[in-house]
Amino acid sequence: MGVEAFAEVARLLFPDWHVTAVENVNFREPVKFYRDQPRTVRISAVFAIDEETGDLVARCQLIGTRTLPNRPEPQVTVHFTGQVRLTAEPAPTESEAAVVQDGQPFVAQESVYAIYFHGPRSR
């Protein structure tokens, strides 16, 4: 959720630019919802030009604020940080032939679990 929000915020100010990478993501603290209450978070983005590539880079943070009992000041937490790289032209794409089964894209369960450390859930 946070990474997608970073990309969306970066494109708000530069809608004609293309997101080509999300880099240096740091998941610092989980966003928790307490007692089923709504929670407001905000995304901040500071933009700079990468002098080497000419890309636009947004340094982003997902920040949560909540009021705690018996505390006069709200608690402010930086939950995620990362950078979104934008380019004036879309990045070239590589395509691979999709595996199709019964006319639908298909990825076998074993292929998915091969990249995760926990393996399939036992039944």
- Residue 121: C-alpha distances to residues 108, 114, 118 (Å): 15, 13, 8
The DSSP element (H or E) to which 4 belongs, if any, is helix 2-13
CATH number of 2-91: 3.10.129.10
> How many other C-beta atoms can be found within 10 angstroms of the C-beta atom of residue 73?
7
Each residue of 67-87: pLDDT tens digit?
Answer: 888 999 988 999 999 999 999
Question: What is the value of pTM for the model shown?
Answer: 0.70
Angle 27-32-38 from CA coordinates, rounded to 5°: 130
Residue extents of the structural domains in the chain: 2-91
Can you give 57-80 as a three-state secondary structure string? EEEEEEEEEECCCCCCCCEEEEEE
> How many other C-beta atoms can be found within 10 angstroms of the C-beta atom of residue 20?
15
Each residue of 7-45: pLDDT tens digit?
Answer: 999 999 999 999 999 999 999 988 888 888 888 899 999
